[in-house]
Amino acid sequence: AQRVTQPEKLLSVFKGAPVELKCNYSYSGSPELFWYVQYSRQRLQLLLRHISRESIKGFTADLNKGETSFHLKKPFAQEEDSAMYYCALTEGEKLTFGTGTRLTIIP
């Protein structure tokens, strides 16, 4: 069975400080992992996926198979980063989401 854990429901960070949103997964196969973001009054959208190794809006995420983690990081938080963030794991047709972390950037 797939399982995605986001241990923090709420996270507050000062503007300009580093951000780390934690995601751990439990899966025996070869995982494909994503981060999705939902800004206020907007639809849920893809932020990044691990196979692309891109940096989107300054965010990066590295897949650590040894620790089964896919933490989302940004060196300097901006006010527009305030949003709901979901980590997700896929194998086959299904996508399993974590419970989400609401990130608030304090001006």
Partner 1 sequence: DVKVTQSSRYLVKRTGEKVFLECVQDMDHENMFWYRQDPGLGLRLIYFSYDVKMKEKGDIPEGYSVSREKKERFSLILESASTNQTSMYLCASSRQVRQPQHFGDGTRLSIL
Least distance (Å) from partner 1 to the CB of residue 97?
A: 4
Closest to 101 measured CA to CA, from 33, 18, 2, 12: 12
Handedness of CA 18, 22, 79, 35 (dihedral sign): positive
The residue (of 73 and 102) whose beta carbon lies closer to partner 1 is 102
Sites for partner 1 among residues 5-64 (CB under 8 A) = 6, 9, 32, 34, 43-46, 49
Q: Which chain residues interact with partner 1 by CB under 8 A?
A: 6, 9, 32, 34, 43-46, 49, 86, 90-100
